[in-house]
A and B are shown apart, each in its own frame.
Chain A
Amino acid sequence: DIVMTQSPDSLAVSLGERATINCKSSQSVLYSSNNKNYLTWYQQKPGQPPKLLIYWASTRESGVPDRFSGSGSGTDFTLTISSLQAEDVAVYYCQQYYTPPLTFGGGTKVEIK
């Protein structure tokens, strides 16, 4: 199974400041035939199911604010919140879909400093 490792486990950021979350896969999730990274990001608020933010590593889901962006390739990926808002307090998860079983990172909790 592909192991997904996120860092940090938690971070506190001031309102309006940048938040950066890292995700590393134990093997490449870049499919060479189509040059796509099989990596997605979710946001989960307390008591709610996860919400899709980003897929194909950098494609923003419809309706997701443009302060959320995804980058990276191969084994190293980043989710960036360019200007943290109060409603962004949540746990963020990466997930690979390069090969089953689909696997998730351990989550990064984002709080307000």
Chain B
Amino acid sequence: QVQLVQSGAEVKKPGASVKVSCKASGYTFTSYAIHWVRQAPGQRLEWMGWINAGTYNTKYSQKFQGRVTITRDTSANTAYMELSSLRSEDTAVYYCARDGSVTDYPRYLDYWGQGTLVTVSS
């Protein structure tokens, strides 16, 4: 069965960076893309970006451009999301999710990781 398992909770100081991992299993990793979505307390879901695990094509939300980097390691079936210059407003649960289509374009998200809480506090 398809599973996405994320790394554990993080506490960071303002200005620092965080890197969250997402290990995929149960499917051919390079056949699908991976999205990163965050959910701040009481806020709506917010799309950060996407990587096609086969072609390495990436697309980022303009809101996070320059601060977010999404990568993947095909040998480890793992995707990563690194967010830099952290501020308190970045405190949120960060999710990875698989794209449900096999196109080279972000679509809908059919399987989700369990979420990683990132807390930014001085």
> CB within 8 Å of B: which residues of A?
38, 40, 42, 49-52, 55, 61, 93, 95, 97, 100-107
Contacts and interface: CB of A to CB of B under 8 A. Distances in A.
Given A97-B106, A102-B106, A107 B44 contact: yes
B112 A49 contact: yes
A112 to B, nearest CB: 22
Given A49-B95, A52-B100, A104 B112 contact: no
B36 to A, nearest CB: 11
Given A50-B45, A95-B45, A101 B62 contact: yes
Contacts of A49: 95, 97, 112-115
Nearest to B95: A49
B9 to A, nearest CB: 14
Contact of A104 (B45, B100, B110, B111): B45
B72 interface: no
Contact of B44 (A51, A52, A93): A93
Contacts of A61: 110
Contacts of B97: 49-50
A95 B108 contact: yes
Interface in B40-69: 44-47, 50, 59, 61-63
Contacts of B115: 49
Given A49-B114, A49-B115, A101 B61 contact: yes
B47 A52 contact: no
A7 B94 CA distance: 25
Contacts of B44: 93, 104-107
Contacts of B95: 49-50
Contacts of A103: 47
Contacts of A51: 112
23 contacts: A38-B107, A40-B108, A40-B109, A49-B95, A49-B97, A49-B114, A51-B112, A52-B100, A52-B109, A97-B107, A97-B108, A100-B47, A100-B50, A100-B61, A101-B47, A101-B63, A102-B47, A102-B106, A103-B47, A104-B44, A104-B47, A105-B44, A106-B44
